[in-house]
Amino acid sequence: MLGTNGKTIKSIGWTGKFQNKSNLPSIAPINGDDMILTIDLNYQSILREELEKRMLETNAKSAMGVIINPQSGAILAMSSVPSFDNNFFSEYQINQHHCKVLTDQFEPGSTFKIVAATAALAENKISLTEEFNCEEGEYNYFGSTIKDHEPHGQLNPIQIIKHSSNIGIIKIAERIGSNSLYKYAKIFGFGTPTNIDIIGETSGKIKPERQWSRISLGQISMGHEVAVNTLQLAVAFSAIANHGYLIKPFIIDKIYNQDKKIKLQNSALVKRKIANEEIILEIKNMLRQVVVDGTGTEADIPGWEVAGKTGTAQKYISGKYSNDHFISNFVGFLPASNPKLLSAIVLDEPESPMHWGGQGAAVAFKRIMQRIINMDDSISPPLKKTNKKQNSLIVSKKVKTENENKSFPVSLSTIHIDKKTRVPDAIGMSLKKAIKIISGAGLKLKINGSGQVISQSPKPGKLIRNNEVCIITLR
């Protein structure tokens, strides 16, 4: 990084050929600094693969996503497809020569509803128990017809977010007014670059209040008349995940100088507090309910307390909102009680019915998170509760292992006897750990399914020949 090429000055002799002149000056190259990124290569590979897969499945124009540590702001993976290869730069269209996560702006739709909900709770304009009339799914708002994707009557704020009621969020926004909605949109960082340490980031858009029409309050509250990029969404939701702190994202972990000494080391940088912790916990609970039995059930991973929000936005084309071109997006994090991972996924113009945030982007989110938690043993689910009133949503049933009630002990260590191997017990392990222990025993491995190991063949403890195949089944 920022090194300088060296050069040796040459001259042309009478023959017309270059010749070295030892008495002429030469310049030695100067090594640059070494830069270490926060990107996890495994996460990056998973993200890109799943974005490509979901783009093809939904016939979307493009897909983009980011995975971030919501506690620190470290970018763990960032990708957009279709993409380009810098080695063959000229072979790609000019609109592919950028990182869409940072540059492409879009109307987010319902993922933006956290702004109005947070503002209303923070300013004591609503209570969680009061109900709003959602007009059975159709509402005349200053001459414009606002529709919900399914009809609802009376809903409280938790239910409004859970079911993503446009009508409900408009009525909440009417309580707070345009000044508060604009203020909290800016507090969440919308309309301003995140200032990530990469050039080219867009700022998004949110109009000053003086430019709002009479329907702008309602439109903005449900994520229209506002533009965001994918990273802005991820950073805004990180403030909900990390107890209310808007953080500056970063992709450079460390920079070492030529002497291998740390020249720069990034860490969490808090920009501001969004709201007090009590309010943030209430919003987090709303997002948890979205995934439990709301519009985001496709993102649920049993035992992991996933929280998140779906978003579906009609694209604004040729001066009007399209009825058949949509943005599908989902932002989620896990475990909700102490989030380690947060991801924002966006699909551009997926086909119906995958145009819904809960049917398009949420599916990709789940696949990505499942692969990561199966691979990375450092990411652990929340602790199981031991009392009788334990939450069935986060406690998985005990998987009975095949070696239970056997008389012989089964060790995690490998025992070799006369070129034979005692099969180690991988039941209940993650895929990453199972691969490590079985491959380490000198056995070949065949994998069925994903998740945790629920069975294996041959059975744990059996003495088999080296290099035999061990089949594991995961769920």
Residues labelled as active-site residues: 110
Rg (CA), the chain: 27
Buried b (16+ CB within 10 A) or exposed e, 159-191: bbbbbbbbbbbbbbbbebebebbbbbbebbbbb
H or E element: which one contains 84?
none
Q: Which residues contact 350 (CB under 8 A, 6 or more apart)?
A: 58, 59, 60, 326, 328, 360
Complete DSSP assignment for 274-339 = -S-HHHHHHHHHHHHHHHHHSTTGGG--TTS--EEEEEEEEEEETTEEEEEEEEEEEEEEESTTS-
CB-neighbour burial class of residue 27 (10 A; exposed 0-12, middle 13-18, buried 19+): exposed
Neighbours of 412 (CB within 10 A): 11
Q: From CA 262, how far away is CA 233, in angstroms rounded?
A: 31
CA dihedral for 345, 311, 130, 118, sign (positive or negative): positive
Q: From CA 242, how far away is CA 250, in angstroms rounded?
A: 16
Residue 207 in contact with residue 106, Cβ under 8 Å? no
Residue 211 in contact with residue 178, Cβ under 8 Å? no
Q: From CA 345, how far away is CA 163, in angstroms rounded?
A: 19
